[in-house]
Structure 1
């Protein structure tokens, strides 16, 4: 009665998600091919990762040595979304007129900050779903810096673009969702390290505030950048440990910058390939994720296009972080798995709260039965308890979902034709003599807005997901079906 043939699938590994109660019950998740959909899902700013360039402006010259080989414009086109810029108040002509300049110390400057900022603003205007963060190591005066930012915003007709922490009350409510920042057009995030407060940027006459240059050390944590060799460990560069969360006296999760460069070397271009390949990925997985309890939001590198590890580049590493950290909107195929082995549907907390997957009534011939949903019971009866073991044969990292009576969650055979959306599922004897694709499930971790952990389960045969049927949640016993999976 079952599909018996293996289908050869390429498998992509995914780091084990640190779920305290789920670890003993669910298998190590694997990666599925990302489907089309919202770029950010419900991720907040602190739940997204951006490739960031160190000394983003320093793309030419030998003394001091350059840190990049491509312009800021090219960096943005290539996917860089974080820029580190040093700003100085420098006289630029014989009359002593001053401007804010982008300089690698006062020894060498690379143009005006206004020019660099215009490049960023024009990019954001041309790409209305992108968000860019600028980190300023600032030596300019408050007046000249805020005037430079204000003039660019006014001249580019982008007065609403600068992020405003007060608009979102971030100290009490945490960072906003990226999709809300996009909707509000608050897509330019600027941090400065000179003044111990968020600095308003106002119109020329002072009547309107456009946004704020946020104080770096009240909003972020950051690793060292002097290593005397290959970047390693995850020590903080100041008194804020990288695992600090939230920031003291607030509800704010700090943005986390991981510096993957050594600022003391004389030839950063020669050193960058070794820093940017497998060493980068290994440091995130083995050092910084354990130390911080999360992935870095900003991965800062020199010469981002260089790597000694083939397909592993800073951009590919950041893309993988975002695939794995995708935050999902509510969806009927997302489940919470509790310590008492109940599968609770996550979507219906207000319209039909506390609905659990249930081993429903038997078929008349006693061969199995139908899958249903009911109100979750406490203590959990056997009919509401499920485990996720590996079958006794080589299932290629697909899993059973096994009922308390030892039977397996099964997609109906349907005369060998994969059924479509809405098909009610069965519980049926587990097929242990061969691979039965309609009893095999891929286990995928997920996170929802607010930090709630979830899981979705993809059937190997149909490619569809275990679903709490929305149309029948109001009844005493609704259906558990297969349907469209959440999109990443």
Structure 2
């Protein structure tokens, strides 16, 4: 069976599943608590743990009411093979512009007038299972800030907060979650000598640093999660600027393939590399980053983007990447969807990476009808 037919079959299965849940939800409305995905609800407390009450009118009249919707990821500890596999054999939910949080109070003396890409704090994102953070870092006010920019320059009205504040949040999470690993992707505009090294050191994160010297080259497997946890090397940092010789920070394009971001990265059936990255099929890079978000973040339409369209595109990047599944799935407003959303997509990736099943929750005992036969 060819990949196109399998992709269609994959989409049809999920579409039927979503429709069946939708029709059931009109009948089975939440009355107390413990309701499942796509049951009608009026408040978060009615939904099972890991779900919240959310409406997606952009998906049509059937979703104009509120439904129980996924709000956190399946923990690695629940995977059949747990933490025994190499790091590159897992998929991680990643937030695009993790710092650009709606409702952020102005910190640079001017109201923030720029795009917002998320609605939870970084701590909340991590608590909900996000393990990849995309952070844009700039020289600003004599230190490093998280910021949007024009022509590579941070302004008062595009600045969110000093980077050290978010890095301290990340340290706190690592301090309190000894089995977790976080990856940071820095869009790097920091030109001050050792600017990144200084801010990570000041935040107390160097004790978790995964060293550049331990990163495999040529497409070889990474260490297992067990090894990374036992050695406490649980923070991976990539930067878009080559600072390997000067600061010992991994240059992202030496270790990852990444598809085009923005509108061009959301065209169905197409998964081309972004500028800077080698082609998606380059097997000398063991990690694949898959972006799926528009040029201009849209909190209304994103629940549609993060649903069927996202699932459909998994197979496109699989094919373009030489029949390899993505390791990092980056989205805007990560909790918004018509049901399972980005969390379900990551479950699918982990199911494929671990045992060839359509969902990691199948516990590697899936039937042939639940397998991707590519």
After TM superposition, the score normalised by the length of structure 1 is 0.51
Structure 2 residue aligned with 1:474: none
* CA-CA distance at 1:297 after TM superposition: 0.6
* CA-CA distance at 1:270 after TM superposition: 2.4
* CA-CA distance at 1:167 after TM superposition: 3.4
Is 1:57 matched up with 2:107? no
Structure 1 residue aligned with 2:326: 296
In structure 1, C-alpha distance between the alignment counterparts of 2:221 and 2:77, rounded to whole Å: 28
In structure 2, C-alpha distance between the alignment counterparts of 1:282 and 1:444, rounded to whole Å: 16
| Counterpart contact for 2:98–2:134, Cα < 8 Å | yes
2:352 to 324, 334, 345: 324
Q: 1:165-314 residue pairs with structure 2 within 5 A? A: 165-167=212-214, 170=217, 174-195=221-242, 197=244, 200=247, 212-227=248-263, 230-232=266-268, 233-238=270-275, 240-246=278-284, 253-263=285-295, 265=296, 267-285=297-315, 287-292=316-321, 293-307=323-337, 309-310=338-339, 312-314=340-342
Q: 1:29-40 residue pairs with structure 2 within 5 A? A: 40=82
* Cα displacement string for residues 144-180 of structure 1 (whole angstroms, at most 9, x for unaligned residues): 2211111222xxxx54311113135555854111221
Structure 2 residue aligned with 1:70: 120
Change (3 A) 1:288 1:230: closer
In structure 2, C-alpha distance between the alignment counterparts of 1:327 and 1:282, rounded to whole Å: 20
In structure 1, C-alpha distance between the alignment counterparts of 2:286 and 2:178, rounded to whole Å: 25
In structure 1, C-alpha distance between the alignment counterparts of 2:233 and 2:217, rounded to whole Å: 14
Change (3 A) 1:171 1:133: same
| Counterpart contact for 2:242–2:250, Cα < 8 Å | no
In structure 1, C-alpha distance between the alignment counterparts of 2:146 and 2:313, rounded to whole Å: 30
Larger radius of gyration: 1
Unaligned runs of 5+ in 1: 1-13, 16-33, 92-97, 201-211, 247-252, 329-396, 400-441, 446-488
In structure 2, C-alpha distance between the alignment counterparts of 1:176 and 1:74, rounded to whole Å: 28
Structure 2 residue aligned with 1:164: 211
* Cα displacement string for residues 102-153 of structure 1 (whole angstroms, at most 9, x for unaligned residues): 0112131111111111111110111111111000001112422211111222
In structure 1, C-alpha distance between the alignment counterparts of 2:238 and 2:222, rounded to whole Å: 14
| Counterpart contact for 2:145–2:163, Cα < 8 Å | yes
Change (3 A) 1:40 1:171: farther
Change (3 A) 1:398 1:259: closer
Change (3 A) 1:319 1:184: same
Change (3 A) 1:110 1:135: same
In structure 1, C-alpha distance between the alignment counterparts of 2:213 and 2:89, rounded to whole Å: 20
Q: CA RMSD, aligned part only?
A: 3.0
In structure 1, C-alpha distance between the alignment counterparts of 2:164 and 2:122, rounded to whole Å: 13
Between 1 and 2, higher relative CO (CA 8 Å, sep ≥ 6) is seen in 2
* Cα displacement string for residues 431-464 of structure 1 (whole angstroms, at most 9, x for unaligned residues): xxxxxxxxxxx9989xxxxxxxxxxxxxxxxxxx
Q: Larger % of helix: which?
A: 2
Change (3 A) 1:221 1:228: closer
Q: 1:371-450 residue pairs with structure 2 within 5 A? A: none
After TM superposition, the score normalised by the length of structure 2 is 0.66
In structure 2, C-alpha distance between the alignment counterparts of 1:100 and 1:192, rounded to whole Å: 14
| 3-state SS, counterpart of residue 203 of structure 2 | helix
| 3-state SS, counterpart of residue 299 of structure 2 | helix
How many residues are aligned here? 273
